Chains A and B, each alone.
Chain A
């Protein structure tokens, strides 16, 4: 035998060389690529990052386990807006209180001069992270950039023109009367940024905002975002020196990362784990409600569901508190209407439907659905009461909730077949109309104003009116409310709408969406902002004696 080397060793050598070649080859290429594509942005490579201290050794640095992969840091164009909100890099003109009423933020006051004209007064002591002053000119730049790049926000703002009156006064003309304009200016996509965030070609350099934390670096490979304290924040003292945000998409991994001390703060560990993790020494779990609801859309074009009695019966058959407790583990709460009871405009007289199988039975029997063949499923004219329920898995509460509701509805004699599908297939079926029930988690205060949700969900041509609901009374109430500028008078009309859809149940609102904040005991001063779109770091947060 000529070759004395064992083939195993040859194989090993080949594998090792190609491993070496490919990895080293690619990483050197990526450095070049980095230089070309993101000029000016500081990008640390993966290996550099690993040699950095793991957060724990620096005393006033907080490591945060974020729930989604951080894909973009663009403060205007798409995904990046939310992470800029979470990391408190950017701020909006208009803020919101805990009850979702508006409050001054970068704008000190605003006034509707006539139907289509608004005047905004700006705070005069705000500087951007690049050191320049924030004036009406930069605000105009930001809003015009958003309008040209994000048609969703543009369609909500309905802005015709923006006029700079003086350094700290701005006049905005809308195309039509738009009472929700200040509310839309609370949306993170409209956060005010410095023009230096973009280069001459309009490409993102880095997000330059006004918030308590400023952008330091974004590692495009590991997608770790680092922000540091903004010493010159207009709002006062900032608690942390540094904040490192890592995307950890798997909830189990987030739980283990905080248990292992790799992150100091994270959100939405598996709901079933929240109580166990809370009992661990040194970690606490806080549960909050966020402006989002779990709701079941009913296809009103299908025969059994067009009968209001069937819909009410279904609502009575569902045990909401049971679901909140055993499916959501109290990360969420039983819901009455589309709005959180803490919201200033919510109809507070509505109470969640409580499970009442007798009432459900009465209503279904009155509607002609009785179990004649004894198989446990009601039928009418020989057709069984069987419905399909579709949902998706991107939000962990949905699939188990669908199963629990199916079981509860079955007790009332309604057969449910659940299907967990991909978003594309769901859209496809919604367009074709071959669905009965659709369980989803909808945001209810992207804009802190009830008009937007009620219009989209319940008016005849509403964009999110999946059930195909149409009630002339609701349509006219909303149209009337839109012309009223006095908030209390407006809210009265909206409360009426809420009461009507509460009775008619075109959508069954099941539960309020929750957020579990998991943090180490040494993380102090955290205040949950219910109006933020998942959560938001506040300037007052600091670390106490982190070892």
Chain B
């Protein structure tokens, strides 16, 4: 329990630090906030803005106040009232925008994580059992491709094959499982490869342990050895990698969401950065950090389950 409190306190600190960092970094990057907000909402990207318009926007959002004051105001509103601001571009509360966009991103991330875990772990085990056989080599080369292919390229290739040639799934759209499959597959590619490689290594190490040799001597069939004795012990590093991959997935959604016109927060975040829509950027970063911390918390809890020797406190 004490550990739990400590952990939550630490999370709050992390969230605060990330918010502060995002806020000040966003104000350090070149180009004035008011100017870019105007270009993205009123005048068009190339057009010039007038002094009058700049003042109008700066006054409206108090952009001329010192930064610490702006940040303090934001924190105050967020903590006291749970209000994390209103978008300059959409003119809607950020929480409302997140509620619209976050489910799509979570669906995508969870689906690709599932693909990564299912495919990665089972292929990893298979590869480890067949160490140095021809199928192991093929799998390892394929995963090498998986790690090195850029996501957007694979995404286009997947559309070309599964939508245009095979007519199995639509190119764009949101809402049903068949819409989800391609983007999730494209997004999970790196993770499948990463999870598979770690599973293979870790499995090989475990399979070399003495108790496995003992189990073999006992006459247990291979599938029993793997599932009963080896898997649980080999899982620890795999879980760590999965936790980290989750963070990578959230970053990868940016490109994938653009290609599939997927209504998630990835594209919202990038567009908001170029439009200097500070409240939305803050909100998106906040959501991503919280998701990341939550996953890591889960990973830590799983550790104790997998290896009871690990104790927190």
**What is A's interface to B at a CB cutoff of 8 Å?**
1, 6-8, 10-12, 14-16, 18-19, 22-23, 26-27, 29-30, 33, 37, 46-51, 54, 69, 71-72, 74, 77-79, 150-152, 155, 220-223, 246-250, 252-253, 256-257, 259-260, 262, 392, 394, 422-429, 440-443, 446, 456, 463-464
Contact = CB atoms under 8 A, between A and B. Distances in A.
Given A8-B231, A429-B30, 9 more contacts: A7-B231, A12-B117, A15-B110, A22-B102, A30-B96, A51-B175, A220-B100, A222-B174, A256-B159
B110 A18 contact: yes
Interface string B32-46: 100110011111111
A248 B261 contact: yes
Contacts of A47: 175-176
Nearest to A465: B48
A468 to B, nearest CB: 14
18 contacts: A7-B231, A14-B302, A30-B103, A37-B93, A49-B174, A50-B174, A50-B175, A54-B170, A72-B89, A150-B42, A220-B100, A246-B172, A252-B156, A256-B164, A262-B171, A423-B45, A427-B31, A440-B46
A429 B102 CA distance: 36
Interface residues of B, number: 75
B56 A151 contact: yes
B46 A443 contact: yes
Of residues A50, A51, A392, which shows the largest number of chain B Cβ atoms within 10 Å of its Cβ? A50
Of residues B167, B175, B228, which shows the largest number of chain A Cβ atoms within 10 Å of its Cβ? B175
Identify whether the interface residues of A are mostly helix, strand, loop, or mixed.
Answer: helix
Nearest to B35: A427
Identify whether the interface residues of B are mostly helix, strand, loop, or mixed.
Answer: helix
A441 B258 CA distance: 23
Contacts of B95: 33
Nearest to A80: B41
B179 interface: yes
B31 A422 contact: yes
Contact of A253 (B111, B260, B302): B260
B216 interface: no
Contacts of B117: 8, 11-12, 15
B114 to A, nearest CB: 6
Contacts of B114: 12, 15-16, 19
Contacts of B121: 8
Contacts of A259: 164
Of residues A37, A424, A427, A443, which shows the largest number of chain B Cβ atoms within 10 Å of its Cβ? A424
Contacts of A29: 99
B306 interface: yes
Contact of B110 (A19, A249, A252, A446): A19
B252 interface: no
B239 A427 contact: no
Closest 6 CB pairs of A and B: A424-B31, A50-B175, A428-B30, A78-B41, A19-B110, A30-B99
Contacts of B40: 79
A47 to B, nearest CB: 5
B305 interface: yes
